[in-house]
Amino acid sequence: MRRVFTILVLALSVSGCAFLGQTTGGVAAAAPSVSQSVETGAATGETAAEAAPELRPTHGLRVHYLEIVTPDVDAVCAAYAAGYGLTFGEPELLLGDARTARLPDGGLVGVRGPMRASETPVIRPYWLVEDIRASVHALVEAGVEFAHPPLELPGFGTFAIYIVGGVEVGLWQL
């Protein structure tokens, strides 16, 4: 089933991510129950779900690649190895010479240095999508600016990078 989200990230909660918007080509999940919602005001008694019925929890949304850009790759790799038990490999040319570590869910963390003098440190999540072209189209329709169009990296998949609210976010299709 193809799911295309014309959305912006609204909130993160203990139970996962929620999005504002609508889905096309798929069935949207039910809004949170009253017991899971926060009241918006004593005067109306409406819950967040009732006040914003377009709020939809997502299921299966996951980060496939977490890219960390830093001027001190060795220090970041050492910290993630010590703190999270990750084992980083040698630099991977196709990922900008990022040293990568496999995550338990099959995703990757990549730590690399800046690729140009103006690139500043950033932590950029790449959300796994089923159809990157459809996702890009939906995000463009929602007014999102793309910093990098979809590009295939042989053996890794296809990625794209967009900017929303000043935050850089990626998409990844296997």
Query: Based on the domain organization, do 39 and 72 belong to the same domain?
Result: no
What's the pLDDT at 23? Answer: 32
Give the full edge-to-edge strand order of the sheet including 122-128. 91-92, 98-102, 108-112, 63-69, 122-128, 167-173, 157-164, 145-153
Phi and psi for 107 in degrees, rounded to 5?
Answer: -75, 180
> Which pLDDT score is estimated for 70?
98
Domain CATH code at residue 140: 3.10.180.10
Pair (159, 76) in one structural domain: yes
pLDDT in tens, 75-102: 999 999 999 999 999 999 999 999 999 9
Range of 34's domain? Answer: 4-57
Q: Which residues pair with 98 in a beta bridge?
A: 92
Same domain, 69 and 44: no
Looking at the chain, the whole-number percentage of residues with pLDDT higher than 90 is: 65
- The answer on 101 and 25 residing in a single domain is no
Q: What is the pLDDT of residues 31-56, one digit of tens each?
A: 333 233 223 333 445 443 343 334 34
Which strands form 4-13's sheet, in the order they lie side by side?
4-13, 16-24, 55-57
Give residues with Cβ within 8 angstroms of 140, minimum separation 6: 146
The rounded distance, in Å, linking the Cα atoms of 91 and 100 is: 7
pLDDT at residue 53 in the model: 36
Same domain, 48 and 70: no
Against a cut of 0.85, is the pTM above it?
A: no
| Residue 58 DSSP code | -
For residue 152, what pLDDT is reported? 98
Give residue 106's pLDDT. 93
Number of domains in the chain: 2
pLDDT higher than 80, residue 10: no
Q: What is the DSSP string of 60-96?
A: S--EEEEEEE-S-HHHHHHHHHHHH-----SEEGGGT
Residue pair 48/30 in contact (Cβ under 8 Å)? The answer is: no
| pLDDT per residue as tens digits for the range 162-174 | 999 999 999 999 9
Band of pLDDT at residue 146, cut at 50, 70 and 90: very high
Pairing mode, strands 122-128 and 145-153: unpaired
Q: How far is residue 25 CA from its own chain's centroid?
A: 21
What residues does 50 pair with on adjacent strands? none
- The pLDDT value recorded for residue 58 is 55
Which of these three, 37, 57, 77, is where a domain ends? 57
